[in-house]
Amino acid sequence: MILGMAPVDDLRAALGDAAVLTGADDLDRYERPARGAAGRAAFVVRPASTDEVRSVLRWAWEHNVRLVPQGANSGLVGASVPDSSGTVGVLSTERLTSGLVVDPAGRTAVVPAGVRLSALEDALAPHGLTFPIDLGADPTIGGMAATNTGGSRVLAYGDVRRRVLGVEVVLADADATVLDLLTTLRKDNSRMALHQLFVGSGGSLGIITKVAVDVVVRPTHQVTWWVVPASDAAVLDLLDHFERAADGGARLTAFELLSGPALAAGLSRLDAGANPFAGGAVPDTVLLVELSGGEGTDDAFVVALERAPSGSVADARAVPAARSWAVRHAVTEGLRARGEVVGFDVSAPRSTVLVLRDEARRMVTEQFPGVELCEFGHMGDGSLHLNVVLPGGGGGGAIDVAALRAAMYALVARHGGSFSAEHGIGPSNAAQWRAATPPAVQDLTERLVRLFDPRGLLGHPALPYRHEGTHP
């Protein structure tokens, strides 16, 4: 449908001028995703309360207007911006920020969907608590729940799903029903886990307005070393060793892998002193290992290193945690400076993910000459970003990107891996969902989407389980 302006004026009259944006300049930042092509929004609506979200969804139902939910617009699969049709609106949750409640003794927080991760951390820090999801970006909590974000400390603290205790959701049905699944109870089996359906739904089932999470004690000391493994086999030995060694003292909270090109890309964004290796050498593979705990954490790390399996460590350098993470989080930007990046956000059982990595290296070298595989990521969870930098200077026309994607996804499937370990489903990988998801799971997903959103109002039009809606 083409949306007339009259209905949008109704919305503005109901919610106020600050809630509805239609000028091209105002819309721009809601139309550009963190990665991928920009879309075009018919308008942006920014409700500031659960009641206002209800008003928006009732209005959308009445006028049959499709909405893409958006938090901080930091998602990496293009799911938070509209398509290019100009007929889809953006429902931004960025003004849902009132009413953050921290219960320090209960070790929980109730967080309005529009609150940023950094703001939540600011509220928790005075209590010595943290929401232990480490990311390079600063998303909203609603977006984090809708995406089920992971990051670098999942091996110790789990992904967002594991920390969500409850949600408040508004459904895109005739009544804009508020689903009150909001609880801070740490144990509750009094109902089915409907709240878990919304975690990782990408906003396709309803608009998350509040999220209740459990939070953890903030470690007083975080110690990182850069460890060069003697071989691929040594990587798994070291992972096992640090998980066990850490158990006796501080705790293993990150076990990241950076290939040489990825490390070089991260280092390129920082000053020259950021490289701790002799003569500025960049090893083929570096593990960023972090232990967290109390005062004894520095010593615990040294002891753990001393006791590492014989011959597993080729080199090891203590690097301040802040610097380690600055380099780690600069990798994506550093790669982008080297050329066009085709991202692959994959995972496999961690026992086999390095085999997958090796086969990907070979495949790229043999079939796509000039292309560079720059892998990095969360080895402790079997999750790697097998990002590919295309030959520079726009001469990449020689590379068939579709063929590269097909070859990589075939490898991932052969190892029982995931084509979207962390980033979720959006227009950039929607086709792969059709190819990789068992038909019975596809069918059930489509039926669930119809049950929750009968008119098909929510989500990017390119999502594979979107539908045209039922209009009696």
Residues 219 to 248 in contact with a copy of itself, rule: CB under 8 A: 219-220, 236, 239-240, 243-244, 247-248
For 125-135, b/e burial (b = at least 16 CB within 10 A) is: eebebbbbbbb
Q: How far is the CB of 148 from a copy of itself (least distance, A)?
A: 5
Token output for 248: 């006796």
Q: Give min distance, CB of 308 to a copy of itself, in A.
A: 16
Question: In the beta sheet, which residues pair with residue 195?
Answer: none
Check residue 312 for interaction with a copy of itself (CB under 8 A): no
By the rule CB under 8 A, 472 interacts with a copy of itself: no
Among 29, 186, 434, 467, the residue binding a copy of itself under the rule CB under 8 A is 186
| CB nearer to a copy of itself: pick between 204 and 324 | 204
* Of the residues 1, 13, 24, 185, which one makes contact with a copy of itself according to CB under 8 A: 185
If the CB atoms of residues 309 and 349 are measured against a copy of itself, the closer one turns out to be: 349
Closer of 194 and 282 to a copy of itself (Cβ): 194
Q: Work out whether strand 67-70 and strand 89-92 pair parallel, antiparallel, or are unpaired.
A: parallel
Q: Does 420 bind a copy of itself (CB under 8 A)?
A: yes
**Measured distance CA(412)–CA(464) in Å, rounded:** 20
Which of 87-95, 201-209, 283-291, 363-371 is the region at the interface with a copy of itself (rule: CB under 8 A)?
201-209
Residue with tokens 């520095």: 298
For residue 416, give both structure tokens: 């029982």
Closest separation in Å from C-beta 394 to a copy of itself: 32
Residue 417 touching a copy of itself (CB under 8 A): yes
DSSP states of 31-77 as a string?
A: H--SSS-----S-EE---SHHHHHHHHHHHHHHT--EEEESSS--SS
Helix (H) / strand (E) containing 305: helix 297-306
DSSP 159: -
Ramachandran bin of 99, using left for φ above 0, alpha for ψ from -120 to 50, beta for the remaining angles = left
Q: Which stretch binds a copy of itself (CB under 8 A): 21-29, 197-205, 328-336, 368-376?
A: 197-205
Where b means 16+ CB within 10 Å and e means fewer, 237-264 reads: bbbebbeebbeebbbbbbbbbbbebbbb
Nearer to a copy of itself, 108 or 275 (CB): 108
Among 211, 321, 421, 457, binds a copy of itself (CB under 8 A): 421
| Inter-axis angle of helices 353-367 and 401-414, nearest 10 | 150
Residue 428 corresponds to which tokens in the numbers above? Answer: 């950039």
Query: For a copy of itself, what does the binding mask look like between residues 328 and 367, x meaning CB under 8 A?
Result: -------------------xxxxxx---------------
Q: Out of 307, 362, 447, 467, name the contact with a copy of itself by CB under 8 A.
A: 447
- Contact region with a copy of itself (CB under 8 A), list: 34-42, 48-56, 360-368, 439-447: 439-447
Least separation in angstroms between CB 130 and a copy of itself: 11
The pairing of beta strand 207-214 with beta strand 108-112: antiparallel
Q: Is 303 in the site for a copy of itself (CB under 8 A)?
A: no
Answer whether 46's CB lies under 8 Å from 21's CB: yes
Which one of the spans 16-24, 104-112, 269-277, 362-370 is the region binding a copy of itself (CB under 8 A)?
Answer: 104-112
Q: Identify the H or E element spanning 267.
A: helix 260-268
Nearest CB to a copy of itself, comparing residues 411 and 425: 425
Give every CB contact of residue 9 below 8 A, 6+ residues apart in sequence: none
Quote the Cα angle for 303-329-311, to 5°.
30
Q: Applying CB under 8 A, which of residues 6, 17, 23, 192 lies at the interface with a copy of itself?
A: 192
Q: How far is CA 316 from CA 27, 165, 293, 312, 347, in A?
A: 48, 39, 20, 11, 26
The count of residues interacting with a copy of itself (CB under 8 A) is: 91
Q: Which stretch binds a copy of itself (CB under 8 A): 5-13, 395-403, 412-420, 455-463?
A: 412-420
List binders of a copy of itself among 137-176 (CB under 8 A): 147-148, 150, 154-155, 158-159, 161-162
Stretch that binds a copy of itself, among 81-89, 270-278, 434-442, 453-461 (CB under 8 A): 434-442
Q: Tell me if 64 contacts a copy of itself by CB under 8 A.
A: no
Q: Are 374 and 343 in contact (CB under 8 A)?
A: no
Q: Could you tell me the smallest distance in angstroms from the CB atom of residue 269 to a copy of itself? A: 25
End-to-end CA distance of the chain: 17
**What residues form DSSP beta bridges with 286?**
258
Map the footprint of a copy of itself across residues 118-137, applying CB under 8 A: 128
Query: Are 32 and 72 contacting, i.e. CB atoms less than 8 angstroms apart?
Result: no
Sign, CA torsion 420/424/426/430? positive
**Residue number with CB closer to a copy of itself (176 or 313):** 176
Site string for a copy of itself, 372-411 (x = CB under 8 A): ------x--xxx----------------------------
* Least CB distance to a copy of itself at residue 109 (A): 11
